[in-house]
Amino acid sequence: MRILVVEDERQLARHITSALGRHGHDAHAQHDGPAGLQAALAQPPDLIVLDLNLPGLDGLEVLARLRAAGSPARVIILTARSEVEQRVKGLKAGADDYLAKPFSMEELVARVEALGRRGATPTAADLLMVADLHLDVQHRRVMRAGRAIALSPREFDLLQVLMQEPGRVFSRTELCERVWQRDHEYDTRTVEIFIARLRKKVDSGFPAPLIHTLRAVGYTIRPP
Ligand code: CA
């Protein structure tokens, strides 16, 4: 994968690019917000590892501008453990995953490759349907009432899991495991943010919502 690393701590940036390089990726680093944004727009990478605290333009702003420009790149944000609010903002702004500092390079490479794999290899050549919502697994396309909906890779994965079993209620923990492949870290807040993002894209503007919350139980998608 072509990977852009935007991280102002130069030593950390170097460690990340060389770890990714050892795993066969083509990784380059930029060390401030404006340079990172420019590099991401000039030569669109498959995936961006984006620090949030950056000089010039912070990571949230870089992410917002990339998504506004229609960038489909998968984005993993780097946050300090204490920056819960930043992480929430990053996920709302269009990041696909996050990693809390300090992290091991093995963990970073595993996350990068999990995210890359999900985008690259569809699991089945299927067309999933719930009412007027259609999801094409192979081409990773989503339409509602004939109109295309642009989803980030993780939003797509989450919708796919829900649509594979319409009417079944999924707990936040199960969605976290199925979509983020985390066995031990049950980050249910991330699931809530992604459900909110999906609702905005899939249900808003339509008279009958398809995604439903069962209080204290989980989420389901079903026809009206
Ligand atoms: Ca930083």
Residues 37, 92: one domain? Answer: yes
Task: Kindly give the distance from the C-alpha atom of residue 155 to the centroid of ligand 1, in angstroms, as a whole number.
Answer: 26
Task: Kindly give the distance from the C-alpha atom of residue 51 to the centroid of ligand 1, in angstroms, as a whole number.
Answer: 6
CATH of residue 206: 1.10.10.10
Q: What is the mean pLDDT of residues 37-58?
A: 95
Pair of tokens at residue 147: 């109109």
Cβ contacts of 44 within 8 Å, gap of 6 or more: 71, 72, 73
State the total domains in the chain. Answer: 2
Task: Kindly give the distance from the C-alpha atom of residue 36 to the centroid of ligand 1, in angstroms, as a whole number.
Answer: 13
Residues 112, 147: one domain? Answer: no
Q: What pLDDT sits at residue 121? A: 40
Handedness of CA 98, 102, 103, 108 (dihedral sign): positive
**3-state DSSP assignment of residue 202:** helix
Task: Kindly give the distance from the C-alpha atom of residue 9 to the centroid of ligand 1, in angstroms, as a whole number.
Answer: 6
Residues 66, 104: one domain? Answer: yes
Asked whether residue 122 is domain-assigned, the answer is no
pLDDT band at 183 (very low <50, low <70, confident <90, very high): low
DSSP state string for 96-114: SEEEEES--HHHHHHHHHH
Asked whether residue 121 is domain-assigned, the answer is no
Q: What does pLDDT average to over the chain?
A: 89
CATH of residue 9: 3.40.50.2300
Q: What pLDDT sits at residue 185? A: 58
Task: Kindly give the distance from the C-alpha atom of residue 5 to the centroid of ligand 1, in angstroms, as a whole number.
Answer: 12
Calculate the dihedral angle through the C-alpha atoms of 156, 161, 162, 168, rounding to the nearest 10 degrees.
180
Read off the pLDDT of residues 100-151 as tens digits, 9 standing for 90 and up.
999 999 999 998 988 876 544 444 447 899 999 999 887 789 999 989 999 9
Q: What pLDDT sits at residue 222? A: 96
Domain final residue pick, 95, 116, 137: 116
CA–CA gap between residue 111 and residue 204 (Å, rounded): 31
Task: Kindly give the distance from the C-alpha atom of residue 189 to the centroid of ligand 1, in angstroms, as a whole number.
Answer: 24
Domain final residue pick, 64, 82, 116: 116
Task: Kindly give the distance from the C-alpha atom of residue 50 to the centroid of ligand 1, in angstroms, as a whole number.
Answer: 9
Task: Kindly give the distance from the C-alpha atom of residue 59 to the centroid of ligand 1, in angstroms, as a whole number.
Answer: 9
Asked whether residue 205 is domain-assigned, the answer is yes
Containing structural domain, residue 150: 127-221
Task: Kindly give the distance from the C-alpha atom of residue 34 to the centroid of ligand 1, in angstroms, as a whole number.
Answer: 14
Asked whether residue 21 is domain-assigned, the answer is yes
Do residues 5 and 49 touch, judged by C-beta distance below 8 A? Answer: yes
Least confident of 47-51, 88-92, 104-108, 220-224: 88-92
Do residues 186 and 218 touch, judged by C-beta distance below 8 A? Answer: no
Percent of the chain with pLDDT over 90: 66
Kind of pairing between the strands at 47-51 and 2-6? parallel
Question: Residue 42: in which H helix or E strand, if any?
Answer: helix 33-42
Residues 95, 163: one domain? Answer: no
Q: What pLDDT sits at residue 91? A: 87
Calculate the dihedral angle through the C-alpha atoms of 76, 182, 192, 141, rounding to the nearest 10 degrees.
60
Task: Kindly give the distance from the C-alpha atom of residue 146 to the centroid of ligand 1, in angstroms, as a whole number.
Answer: 43
131/86: higher pLDDT: 131
Task: Kindly give the distance from the C-alpha atom of residue 82 to the centroid of ligand 1, in angstroms, as a whole number.
Answer: 14
Domain final residue pick, 116, 143, 170: 116
Residues 50, 81: one domain? Answer: yes
Pair of tokens at residue 207: 């008279």
Asked whether residue 216 is domain-assigned, the answer is yes
Is the preceding peptide bond at 102 cis, omega within 30 degrees of 0? yes
